[in-house]
Structure 1
Amino acid sequence: MPFKDIQAFMKVLESKGQLKRITAEVDSDLEITEITDRISKEVGPALLFENVKGSKYPVLINAMGSYERMSLALGVDKLEEVEEDIANLINMQNYIKTPKLIKSIPSLTRLLAVLPWRLPIKGACQEVIEHDPDLSTIPVLKCWPDDGGKFITLPLVMTKDPDTGVQNTGMYRMQIYDKNTTGMHWHWHKDGREIYDKYRKLGGKMPVSVAIGCDPAITFSAIAPLPKMIDEMMFAGYLRKWPVKMVKSITNDIYVPADAEFVLEGYVDVNEPLRLEGPFGDHTGYYSLADMYPVFHVTCITHKKNAVYPTTIVGRPPMEDCYMSKATERAFLPLLKMIYPEIVDYSLPFEGVFHNCVIVSIKKRFPGHGKKVMNSLWGMGQMMYAKMIIVVDETINPHDIKAVTKQVFESIDMKKDLVFSEGPLDALDHASANDHYGYRLGIDATKKFKAEGNNIRWNCQVKSSLELDKYLESHEKIASFNYPINGAMQGALIVSINKSESNDAKKLIKELWNHEDMKYNKFLIVVDKDVDANDISTVAWKVFNNIDAKRDLLIEEVNFDNEDCFGHRLGIDATKKFKEEGHNREWPDDIVMSEDIKKKVTKRWSEYGFEKNI
């Protein structure tokens, strides 16, 4: 059976030892974030803060912050079951022959749960109705020190298309401006923005209702990259195996989940000037920059008598949103395979923060098949944001990062196997020269047919060199370095650099390649000095975030006489870019908690009820 609401989910979490109650008074400004960030990095429990300064409502956070809890939220033992379930539903072979059709009757019957129920009465979300709304009564978090304010981070923003009357549900962060106005973060590529643009042509006020705190399957459905013809509440009904109960908002014609904790009702005046929103510490691990967005006017707040405020924080991975991303990955693999049957599997690694890296394995059948797949994916909905797509053969598990890395490092030729695709990018991409637009990188690491040329294998032996080590250690620009001589990354030198001038990183790459002991180096990655070159996960996160494929890759041909070593080598400049390097936009800061809050939380750690300080 589905969870009736988020509080039913909380009870199950607590029964399984997956929820920690914190009774000590905590501040919604930064303190809850720092506590949660430490816990989420250790894949710790969901947290219920029962005593939030200045508010009577408890705060629930990190509720889906593990594979176990994310699976539980969707009613399965493991996320792969969601994949199998949807795969069986859309497999038309199940409906062709009578025996298979009979076996499929339970799945078909379950489709009756897809359509939400619209109740003629008030819902639990409307036990209390406040026509003089005050958002300050809700314990909305200020997540990070440089945030523009407090942000609602798990809102289900519900709007209605004025042409079709069809409702849309999306998750768009909402900055609190004052007691009854917020920002509405609709950027270009989102469905909410498209509906807003339709209302702009009509003029007047656009009705909006925002549900906060629903059954986790409903919340998950709001972030799912669904085709436009599929209603999010229908998808939630399928996942829950039971219809979503909906009730009409008190002040507009939008229907909302009946068992939500809070509902904010109001409007966006499409004739009103846009307002500055942000900055915001985002899921990329960087602050998204302030920009102009529509204003949401809250005219009514409804809620349960004993409401709980669910929220989340995002930042440098891993965090709660990473597990939501993995659930999305599993749920939509069957749809990808239905459209492109050659796809075997794919992975969205945590370091790629949803849209910066996609690894896909395929059954390769013809020359150029790998390039065909990556270009196809860039043409699919939110896959257009994929900043890097790596294609490997079906023998490579895309979730095995070491195997993928080994295949890429050993097999690709940088001149033939890299694809530079110019096109749309996510609004959060900060490395491109232009907003929303730039270069994406495709890496074809599949085995090559004769027509594609021979596979290039870097056969040079990488040896430890005391002279090279001394050179790197004494170099005035190098803060740390990592030169693995064994394993998947053999010969891939990583250096962190004290960058003070434009093109310092590219100059260093060329300088190092001229060193005698570096002549066999195939990959050279340069990151900023604040990154430990030995922390491979952080290095990968910086590479996925900080490069524009066209600007920041250096390719050099290598062909040593009388030696079995040839091909091309690659230098990657993953450092922060200056204007002189062709980056005229503001470069955002990494998200870092302030030292005073860190010290405060460390000092109070035992007060929160934790035994081990982290």
Structure 2
Amino acid sequence: MKPRAEIPHTATGASAPDLERFGLRRFLESLDGDELERHDNPVELADIAALMEGNARAVWISRPSGDSISLAGNVTASRSRLAKAFDTTPDKLLDVVRERLRSKGQLVEVSREEAPVQQVVLTGDECDFTKLPIHLQHDLDGAPYVSASIDFVVDPESGWTNVGVRRLMLRGRRTAGIDLVAPSDLRAIAIAHAKRGERLPIAFAVGTHPIDHVGATMRIPADELELVAALRGAPMGVVKCVTSDLRVPADAEFILEGYLDERGHSDPEGPYGEFLGYYGGIKTNPVFHLTAITHRRNAIFQTCTIGGRSMARTDTAQLAALRTEVTVWRALETAVREVKAVYAGPATGGMFNVRVAMQQRVPGEARNAIAAVFASLANVKHVFVVDPDIDIFSDEQMDWALATRFQADRDLVLQSGLRAMPLDPSLNGATQTAKAGFDLTLPLLKPGTQRSLEHRVPTPPAYAGARFESLEAALEDGPKRFVDLMAATGTRDGREIVRWLEDVATKRPLNRDEEGRYGFA
């Protein structure tokens, strides 16, 4: 077992972290009415899921079920709010995230007295899941779920902190099921502990800044606590847990401390409304035992939106989409040269359909890009590659490119027998999937040539041609398009040119070339 890397124990001087800047409350208070829906009157727990279903705004409930702990949800369920968290715009979000991931994050350990998340410490019988505003999210769920929980464990092989997002199904006051079915680092760590008959210390942060959720979804080999700090772009305060040696964000709203049962995958968990918009069935999963709850004074609990028909307006789809874009871009960087944009549509869960805009340099690069995206993530099923003139964020332009630049017998790339996302309901029990790539690019031009007229996109006339003393002088200069003839005299009408062309043709032969330009014979 490798020793855990030491964290600088200092909270003073230039590297001291701001323990309020990345608080959930501050982020919520920064949202305007277009992004935040507030409920100051009591809201029953049974009504919370319906309030958030398909809601384009974040929801902040001051008194869920009349309790004193407030509840926020749907916080990361829009690209605009994710962009705001990174102090950028939606179209620049991926660029900002990629740039921050190039830096090493700075962790600063703070004392328990300094850590806002340990202002209140509950252990023993005082720590109780059922005293938190945890609600039933979907009709057929097996129980209320903690759905916005970010987990922290230490990998004994590397000494790194592993960070992810896992749900917790309430089983009692201090026990919960945790989903560890899909392949993941945490699953491998948990299985290794169970084989040795050991408990796995684990902690969950609930009520965190959107950046922390983005970091928790990333799959990049590194100490993922440092990765979260890198995405923040500022020193990150961490504090040692009360009942374990784990380090967790000191500025979270809640930390749920405990361990995974040494029996490993032992108990039924589910059903649950999954991130693909359908239910996941009952699975055998480990049991989490709660040993402490620590939280801020006046803390905000958090819930995430996940399944349902409004996938594009769920936390999980928006977070998965950004994670997919980062992963795909990293794969494309080594496969092709001029990637211009990557977009994963949240309506597909943020992972199944990926769009890529690129400038082809040699024939076949679009297909190379498709192959690279296929291999980058098991979840990606359909890849659409377009030229840079297509706005991949526009469904209208993508539909247009599919309709006018694609021939199925020429431009469809099919690959079968690939690793599957197990939750994909279209598999019908299969363990492997097929993937499709759509090459929506125009034919690659030879150097020094331009697109044929049939491949050029119409735009409003610009009237940018040269001025001449007369239309006759303009045509004497060389062939001209109609727009050039209008520019030649500065007319803002054009009908007089039609009359002139008709009249001059009776005196002097006119012809038109293959591009439709007028000229004297």
Q: Same fold (TM over 0.5)?
A: yes
Whether the aligned pair in 1 keeps the contact of 2:257 and 2:292 (CA below 8 Å) is yes
Whether the aligned pair in 1 keeps the contact of 2:44 and 2:65 (CA below 8 Å) is yes
**SS state at 1:33 partner:** helix
- Distance 1:67-1:118 versus aligned 2 partners, 3 A rule: same
**Aligned residues: percent identity?**
23
In the TM superposition, what is the alpha-carbon distance from 1:337 to its structure 2 partner? 5.0
In 2, distance between residues paired with 1:249 and 1:90? Answer: 27
In the TM superposition, what is the alpha-carbon distance from 1:436 to its structure 2 partner? 4.7
Give the letter aligned to residue 198 of structure 1. Answer: A
Show CA shifts across 1:126-162 (max 9, x none): 2222222210001112111111111111101111112
Match of 1:9 among 13, 20, 27: 27
For structure 1, which runs of at least 5 residues remain unmatched after alignment? 92-110, 451-458, 460-614
In 1, distance between residues paired with 2:303 and 2:175? Answer: 19
Show CA shifts across 1:231-278 (max 9, x none): 333233233221111111111111111121111111112325521111
Whether the aligned pair in 1 keeps the contact of 2:325 and 2:344 (CA below 8 Å) is no
Q: Determine whether 1:294 maps to 2:286.
A: yes
In 1, distance between residues paired with 2:325 and 2:353? Answer: 16
Whether the aligned pair in 1 keeps the contact of 2:328 and 2:373 (CA below 8 Å) is no
In the TM superposition, what is the alpha-carbon distance from 1:332 to its structure 2 partner? 5.7
Matches within 5 A, 1:77-226: 77-85=88-96, 111=103, 114-122=105-113, 123-132=115-124, 133-223=127-217, 225-226=218-219
In 1, distance between residues paired with 2:37 and 2:305? Answer: 17
- Distance 1:355-1:397 versus aligned 2 partners, 3 A rule: same
Q: Determine whether 1:426 maps to 2:438.
A: no
Whether the aligned pair in 1 keeps the contact of 2:106 and 2:234 (CA below 8 Å) is no
Show CA shifts across 1:94-153 (max 9, x none): xxxxxxxxxxxxxxxxx57x1211224342212222222210001112111111111111
Whether the aligned pair in 2 keeps the contact of 1:3 and 1:215 (CA below 8 Å) is no
In 1, distance between residues paired with 2:273 and 2:81? Answer: 24
Provide the residue aligned with 1:73 in structure 2. 85
Provide the residue aligned with 1:240 in structure 2. 232
In 2, distance between residues paired with 1:433 and 1:364? Answer: 37
- Choose 1 or 2 for highest CA Rg: 2
Provide the residue aligned with 1:19 in structure 2. 36
In 2, distance between residues paired with 1:353 and 1:88? Answer: 25
Show CA shifts across 1:570-612 (max 9, x none): xxxxxxxxxxxxxxxxxxxxxxxxxxxxxxxxxxxxxxxxxxx
Q: Determine whether 1:267 maps to 2:259.
A: yes
Provide the residue aligned with 2:468 in structure 1. none
Give the letter aligned to residue 430 of structure 1. Answer: P
In 1, distance between residues paired with 2:28 and 2:182? Answer: 35
Matches within 5 A, 1:484-503: none
Matches within 5 A, 1:500-519: none
Whether the aligned pair in 2 keeps the contact of 1:82 and 1:331 (CA below 8 Å) is no
Provide the residue aligned with 1:453 in structure 2. none
Whether the aligned pair in 1 keeps the contact of 2:329 and 2:342 (CA below 8 Å) is no
Count, aligned residues: 420
In 1, distance between residues paired with 2:424 and 2:398? Answer: 24
Whether the aligned pair in 1 keeps the contact of 2:194 and 2:264 (CA below 8 Å) is no
- Distance 1:391-1:314 versus aligned 2 partners, 3 A rule: same
Whether the aligned pair in 2 keeps the contact of 1:86 and 1:334 (CA below 8 Å) is no
**SS state at 2:428 partner:** coil
Provide the residue aligned with 2:346 in structure 1. 350
Match of 1:362 among 340, 358, 361: 358
In 1, distance between residues paired with 2:97 and 2:73? Answer: 28
- Distance 1:66-1:271 versus aligned 2 partners, 3 A rule: closer
In 2, distance between residues paired with 1:152 and 1:362? Answer: 40
Q: Determine whether 1:47 maps to 2:47.
A: no
Whether the aligned pair in 1 keeps the contact of 2:149 and 2:206 (CA below 8 Å) is yes
Provide the residue aligned with 1:28 in structure 2. 45
Whether the aligned pair in 2 keeps the contact of 1:82 and 1:330 (CA below 8 Å) is no
Give the letter aligned to residue 440 of structure 1. Answer: K
- Distance 1:403-1:79 versus aligned 2 partners, 3 A rule: closer
In 2, distance between residues paired with 1:264 and 1:436? Answer: 35
Compute the TM-score of the two structures, normalised by the length of structure 2.
0.74
Show CA shifts across 1:297-348 (max 9, x none): 1122222232110112122223142443454466567635533424221221
**SS state at 1:299 partner:** strand
Matches within 5 A, 1:365-514: 365-380=361-376, 383-416=377-410, 417-434=412-429, 436-448=431-443
Provide the residue aligned with 2:513 in structure 1. none
In the TM superposition, what is the alpha-carbon distance from 1:352 to its structure 2 partner? 1.8
Matches within 5 A, 1:543-558: none
Provide the residue aligned with 2:494 in structure 1. none
Whether the aligned pair in 2 keeps the contact of 1:154 and 1:310 (CA below 8 Å) is yes
Show CA shifts across 1:337-366 (max 9, x none): 533424221221232221211111222234
In the TM superposition, what is the alpha-carbon distance from 1:279 to its structure 2 partner? 1.3
**SS state at 1:431 partner:** helix
